[in-house]
Structure 1
């Protein structure tokens, strides 16, 4: 049964090509919002807290601070409304899921940038 589900997901679900990102990275997700007949593009910039699942059912969670309130949003990786994903910074973290990040405020909530090259 699992093989059948995997076959259908691989064959019929269209996958978009996005850059590689992981927990700790700061990314910007551009997605389309439909309001009645109109459509507009909105972006959500924040830190990736986790990537979960595999294949077509994979999701990722982004957290940003809006004023003093933390806002989290979960995106499916193959959501048709996602137009593009930009990686702004690669963060240096030691875990795949950084839920401890929710409890940090101020200077403690900074993630050091990973050096490339």
Structure 2
């Protein structure tokens, strides 16, 4: 139960924001604005979304990727952050869970997620 004024403020923050719909198991490519001194650049972070938390303005999602030397890297991003430049859904995964924390213990082929195939009707 939120205060009416807080709810109105959050709705104003969400207007004009285009966010693609995704869920846990999808492979995402997130463009992050990085500021170094007076320069800004976009750095991409590509990995599997393992969790989505919260709702409204407070919504966050966790992305996991395997970096060099098979080290897993996870980052948590606020969905409506100004630091996020873009979110692209590269693959839609077929999973049966909302949180994919079990991927932390798996390596190689065991950590793969099947892709959701689209049914083509004639």
Give TM-score scaled by structure 1 length: 0.93
Distance in 2 (CA, whole Å) between partners of 1:83 and 1:38 is 15
The corresponding residue for 1:2 is 2
Task: Please give the root-mean-square deviation of Cα atoms over the aligned residues, in Å.
Answer: 1.4
How far has the Cα of 1:46 moved from its partner? 0.2
Rg (Cα) greater in structure: 2
Structure 1 segments, 4+ long, off by >6 Å, are: none
Distance 1:103 1:15, change over 3 A: farther
Q: How does 1:11-50 map to 2 (within 5 A)?
A: 11-14=12-15, 16-50=17-51
C-alpha displacement of 1:14: 4.8
Superposed CA offset, 1:90-110 (max 9, x none): 001001111111111111100
Where 1:88 maps in the other structure, the secondary structure is strand
Please tell me whether the aligned partners of residues 50 and 98 of structure 1 are also in contact (alpha carbons under 8 angstroms): yes
| Corresponding residue of 1:84 | 86
Q: 1:109 to 1:74 in 2, by over 3 A?
A: same
- Tell me if structure 1 keeps the 8 A contact 2:30–2:88: yes
1 CA distance for matches of 2:95 and 2:55?
21
- State whether residues 15 and 78 of structure 1, in contact with CA within 8 Å, keep that contact through their aligned partners in structure 2: no
Q: 1:72 aligns with which of 36, 55, 74?
A: 74
1:13, 1:56 within 8 Å by CA — same for their partners in 2? Answer: yes
Q: What are structure 2's unaligned runs of at least 5 residues?
A: none
- How many pairs align? 117
CA contact (8 A) 1:14 1:78 kept: no
